[in-house]
Structures are given as structure tokens and as C-alpha cells.
């Protein structure tokens, strides 16, 4: 009988110890639950309303020379869309009579809407498109109105924050092409002033095919843009790009790009 009590006692102690061990170890399921990462939230695409809130701000509508200015504000407040308009319109605040004296078509502006690539579309009361401005550099948007000319929408707050190019930034040899990895000619931007803000421009013979009929002999900086000028015809206007190149604006069928010659 004594020997049976000696055997029973260690067995009871062993079971008690194992019970304590199991109680101290958390279940495997609980461990998995604590280490499993929460799923990342889906990124919803921007709606016209969210883009409108991002673009809404005070702007200046100007002509190409910048000597005629119409202050206006693009609001994020929805505007009433005429029948047949399949996209949201938003309110525009401006002094139409005063603006019409500066820029004639400003009298027709009744609303706006965001377009692809953060473009800005101005609409008439009928919903008809008045002008579409594509985003350039340094807080400016450009539009070409057929048989009218080039116009700009400028956000003064962004322009003040963005440093503008200086003539010394352009001195030297550049490549002129239709786009990246396209055949190019070379253009020398001279350093000696030859007039009121003008500098000499010396293109090689291959540039005639890119410039067209009008030769370009001078260049200047104008309100942050680069102008290539000739004795006749309209100047070619280029806007600075984030990668240091210059792209002809407004964008049309004739793409031209200036990039620094390596």
C-alpha cells in the first residue's frame, strides 16, 4: 500500500504542472490574431468634386502679353448644369463687365469644370465650352482660342512660391526636337543683350525644318516663359518643365521641346 501512494503522488503533481503550463500558453489562434496585419484601405479615384476642391482658388485670366488681366475665383460650389450637360459644373466668381473690358470672352464665363490632367474648362451659361486651359508650370494654365490667341490662367499664390528662370539659366547650347528621343537640331542661346531684354539666338541649319517658314533670331524671358522671336510672325512660347526642359505652349499639332545639350 505504501508503494502505491508513492506512485500516485508524483503523477498528480505532474498533471498539475502540465495544466499550469497549458494555462500560461496562449492559444495559437490568439497569437495569429494579434500578428495578422490589417488590410490596407482602398484608394478611391478622385471625383470631379474632389478635383474641384483641390483646384478651387483665386486666379488671373490674362492675355499672352500679360497686360490685360481679369481676376476671378474658381469655387468648389456646384453650379446648375443646363440640360444635356453630362458632367458637374462649378461656380465662377468674377466682375463680368470689368473683365469684359480687358478680355472680351470673359463676359461669357458662367461656370467651370475640371478636365483630364488637372485642366480647367470655362463654360458659358449654355454649358458650351468657352476655353480649356491645360496645366503648365509654375502655377499657370494655357489655352489657345482659335482665331483669337493664347490666354493664361495664373494662380498668384503658386507663382509667388515658384522661382522663375533667369537669363543666365539658358545661356549655352540646347537641343530642339519634336519630343524625347526624336531627331534634333542645336540652338545656341547667346549671352550678350541685343535690345530691351532680348538676346541672340543662333540655330543650326537643321532647325529650319522645325521652326517652319519663320526664322528665329532672338530670345527673351517673358513672365516666366521663354519666347523665341523672329522679325515676322508670332513668337514661339515655351513653358518651363519640372525636368529642366522647355515645352512649346499651348500644346497643339506642332510639338517642340528644348532640352539642355549634354
**Which of 121, 122, 160, 117 is CA-nearest to residue 138?**
160
More reliable by pLDDT, 117 or 196: 117
Summarize pLDDT for 214-234 with one digit per residue, the tens.
Answer: 789 999 998 788 999 988 778
Q: What per-residue confidence (pLDDT) applies to 212?
A: 76
Q: Where are the domains of the chain?
A: 48-161, 167-260
pTM flag (> 0.85): no
CATH of 167-260, one of 3.60.21.10, 3.30.1370.110, 2.40.128.10, 3.40.640.10: 2.40.128.10
CATH of 48-161, one of 3.10.20.30, 2.60.40.10, 2.40.128.10, 3.50.50.60: 2.40.128.10
**Vertex 250: Cα angle to 204 and 221 (nearest 5):** 60
Q: What is the Cα–Cα distance from 51 to 156, expressed in whole angstroms?
A: 19
Summarize pLDDT for 134-168 with one digit per residue, the tens.
Answer: 998 778 999 999 888 899 999 988 876 667 789 99
3-state secondary structure of 69: strand
Amino acid at each position: 500500500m505504501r508503494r502505491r501512494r508513492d506512485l500516485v503522488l508524483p503523477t498528480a503533481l505532474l498533471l498539475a504542472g502540465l495544466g499550469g503550463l497549458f494555462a500560461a500558453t496562449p492559444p495559437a489562434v490568439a497569437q495569429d490574431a494579434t500578428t495578422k496585419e490589417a488590410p490596407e484601405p482602398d484608394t478611391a479615384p478622385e471625383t470631379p468634386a474632389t478635383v474641384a476642391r483641390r483646384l478651387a482658388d483665386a486666379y488671373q485670366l490674362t492675355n499672352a502679353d500679360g497686360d490685360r488681366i481679369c481676376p476671378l475665383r474658381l469655387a468648389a460650389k456646384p453650379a446648375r448644369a443646363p440640360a444635356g450637360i453630362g458632367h458637374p459644373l462649378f461656380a465662377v466668381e468674377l466682375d463680368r463687365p470689368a473683365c469684359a473690358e480687358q478680355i472680351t470672352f470673359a463676359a461669357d464665363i458662367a461656370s467651370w469644370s475640371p478636365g483630364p490632367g488637372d485642366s480647367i474648362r470655362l463654360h458659358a451659361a449654355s454649358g458650351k465650352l468657352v476655353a480649356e486651359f491645360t496645366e503648365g508650370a509654375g502655377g499657370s494654365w494655357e489655352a489657345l482660342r482659335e482665331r483669337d490667341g493664347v490666354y493664361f490662367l495664373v494662380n498668384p499664390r503658386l507663382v509667388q512660391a515658384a522661382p522663375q528662370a533667369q537669363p543666365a539659366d539658358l545661356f549655352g547650347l540646347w537641343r530642339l526636337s519634336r519630343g524625347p528621343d526624336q531627331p534634333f537640331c542645336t540652338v545656341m542661346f547667346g549671352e550678350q543683350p541685343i535690345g530691351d531684354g532680348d538676346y541672340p539666338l543662333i540655330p543650326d541649319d537643321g532647325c529650319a525644318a522645325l521652326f517652319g517658314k519663320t526664322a528665329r533670331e532672338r530670345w527673351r524671358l517673358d513672365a516666366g516663359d521663354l519666347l523665341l522671336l523672329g522679325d515676322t510672325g508670332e513668337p514661339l512660347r515655351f513653358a518651363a518643365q519640372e525636368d529642366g526642359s522647355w515645352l512649346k505652349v499651348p500644346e497643339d499639332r506642332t510639338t517642340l521641346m528644348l532640352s539642355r545639350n549634354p
